[in-house]
C-alpha cells in the first residue's frame, strides 16, 4: 500500500456537470420515501450538528445501497441548506477480484460529483493474514477505515460520512452485548481516537427498509460486497435475523430499541465509571428529621 502522505498525489478529484433529468416525475411511493429519508437525515444532521458552515464532507462510497442513498440525499440537502458545505465522494478500490472499476466513476460523472478513487490492494493483505474459511470482514473493515481516515486528513476533509443506518446501529448494540460484553453501538457522530477525524452517520435515523426501497426506485448500479468470496459475518447475520423476527411479531420494536440508545439512564445501569455509585448515600441529618418523628408516633 502507498504511504498515506502520498495519497493526495496519487489521484485528483474529477468534477463534472450535473446530471440532466433532475426534474424527473416520481411515483407517489418513490416521492414519499424520498421525503421521509430527507426529513430524517436532515433531522439527524441538525440534532448532532454533523455539518457546519464551510465543511468539506468526504462521503465514503462503497457501491452499496446505503452509501448511494446517503450521497444522493446529501446532495439534495446541500442544494437547499442554509449553509455552504462541500461534498467529495471517495471510493476505495481494494483490488477484490472482478471489482467493476468503471461502475462508480461512470455514476459519479453522471451525477456531477467531485470524486476520488483510491486503489489500495488491501485484499491481498487480508488474504495473507486471515486463514482460509475464516471471515475477513473485521480486518478488511479496519484496513479500509485506516486508509480512508488518512486520506480525509490529506485532502482537508472536516467530516467523514459513513452510510450506517438505524438498523446497523441497533444490530451493533446487540452484537456488542451478546458477543463483546459491552453496552455500546455506533454513535451518529464520533471523534476518532487520534482526534484528527470526525465521523458522521447521516442515515442514523433512517430505516434499512426505506433505503432498500429508495435504492430500488433509483436503480443504483449496486456493487455486491461479497466479491472477496468471504461469508457474511455470521454473528451479525444472526442478530439481523433476530431483529427481523421481532419486528414481524412486534412492529416498531427496532425503532423503540433505537430510541432507548438516545435515552440512557446511567444511574439505572451498573457502570461505576459512568455513575458514582460508591459515594451514593442519603444525608443522615435530613434522614433523621424524617425518621425520628415516625418512630415517636409508632411508640405512642
Q: Average of pLDDT values for 116-135?
A: 69
Residue 48 pLDDT exceeds 80: yes
Q: Per-residue confidence at 25, pLDDT binned at 50, 70, 90?
A: confident
Higher pLDDT, 48 or 143: 48
- What pLDDT shows up at residue 287? 61
Residue in this structure with the C-alpha cell 502520498, named with its chain if needed:
6
Order of all β-strands in the sheet with 198-200? 115-119, 86-93, 56-60, 159-161, 198-200, 189-191
DSSP assignment of 214-270 equals HHHHHT-----TTTT-PPP-HHHHHHHHHHHHHHHHSTTHHHHHHHHHTS--GGGS-
Question: Which of these CATH numbers, 3.40.50.620, 3.40.630.20, 3.40.190.10, 3.40.50.2000, describes 4-268?
Answer: 3.40.50.620
Mean pLDDT, residues 214-231 taken together: 79
| 88-115 pLDDT, tens digit each | 999 988 777 778 889 999 999 999 999 9
Please tell me the least confidently modeled range out of 23-37, 118-132, 177-191. 118-132
Find the mean pLDDT for residues 207-227.
90
- Residue 132: the pLDDT is 64
Kindly state the percentage of the chain with pLDDT values over 90: 63
Give the whole-angstrom CA distance, residue 88 versus residue 73: 14
Q: Look at residue 124 in the predicted model and tell me its pLDDT.
A: 66
Q: How far apart are CA 221 and CA 107, in angstroms?
A: 8
**What is the spatial distance between Cα 165 and Cα 131, in angstroms, rounded to a whole number?**
31
Domain boundaries, given as residue ranges, for the chain: 4-268
Q: How far is CA 67 from CA 54, 58, 74, in A?
A: 22, 12, 10
What does pLDDT average to over the chain?
84
Upper half-sphere CA count for residue 253 (Cβ side, 13 Å): 11
Given a cut of 80, whether residue 16 has pLDDT beyond it is no
Q: Which residues pair with 159 in a beta bridge?
A: 57
The lowest-confidence range among 74-83, 217-226, 275-284, 288-297 is 288-297
Confidence check: pLDDT of 117 > 80: yes
Q: How far apart are CA 136 and CA 54, in angstroms?
A: 38
Strands 189-191 and 198-200: antiparallel
Give mean pLDDT, residues 220-231.
71
223/19: higher pLDDT: 223
Amino acid at each position: 500500500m502507498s504511504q498515506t502522505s502520498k495519497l493526495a498525489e496519487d489521484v485528483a478529484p474529477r468534477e463534472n456537470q450535473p446530471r440532466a433529468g433532475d426534474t424527473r416525475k416520481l411515483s407517489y411511493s418513490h416521492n414519499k420515501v424520498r421525503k421521509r429519508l430527507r426529513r430524517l437525515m436532515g433531522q439527524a444532521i441538525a440534532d448532532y450538528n454533523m455539518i457546519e458552515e464551510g465543511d468539506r464532507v468526504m462521503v465514503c462510497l462503497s457501491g452499496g445501497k446505503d452509501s448511494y442513498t446517503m450521497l444522493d440525499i446529501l446532495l439534495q440537502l446541500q442544494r437547499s441548506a442554509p449553509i455552504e458545505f462541500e461534498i467529495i465522494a471517495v471510493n476505495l478500490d481494494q483490488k477484490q477480484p472482478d471489482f467493476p472499476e468503471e461502475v462508480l466513476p461512470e455514476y459519479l460523472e453522471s451525477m456531477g460529483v467531485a470524486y476520488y478513487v483510491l486503489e489500495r490492494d488491501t485484499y491481498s493483505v487480508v488474504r495473507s493474514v486471515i486463514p482460509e474459511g475464516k471471515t475477513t470482514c473485521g480486518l478488511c473493515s479496519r484496513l479500509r477505515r485506516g486508509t480512508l481516515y488518512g486520506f480525509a486528513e490529506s485532502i482537508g476533509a472536516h467530516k467523514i460520512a459513513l452510510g450506517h443506518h438505524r438498523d446497523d446501529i441497533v444490530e451493533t448494540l446487540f452484537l456488542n452485548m451478546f458477543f463483546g460484553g459491552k453496552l455500546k453501538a455506533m454513535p451518529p457522530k464520533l471523534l476518532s481516537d487520534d482526534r484528527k477525524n470526525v465521523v458522521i452517520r447521516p442515515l442514523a435515523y433512517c430505516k434499512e427498509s426505506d433505503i432498500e426501497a429508495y435504492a430500488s426506485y433509483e436503480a443504483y448500479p449496486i456493487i455486491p460486497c461479497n466479491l472477496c468470496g468471504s461469508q457474511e459475518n455470521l454473528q451479525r447475520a444472526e442478530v439481523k435475523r433476530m431483529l427481523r423476527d421481532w419486528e414481524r411479531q412486534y412492529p416498531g420494536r427496532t425503532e423503540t430499541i433505537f430510541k432507548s440508545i438516545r435515552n440512557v439512564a446511567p444511574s439505572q445501569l451498573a457502570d461505576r465509571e459512568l455513575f458514582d455509585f460508591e459515594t451514593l448515600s442519603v444525608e443522615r441529618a435530613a434522614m433523621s428529621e424524617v425518621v425520628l418523628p415516625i418512630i415517636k408516633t409508632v411508640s405512642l
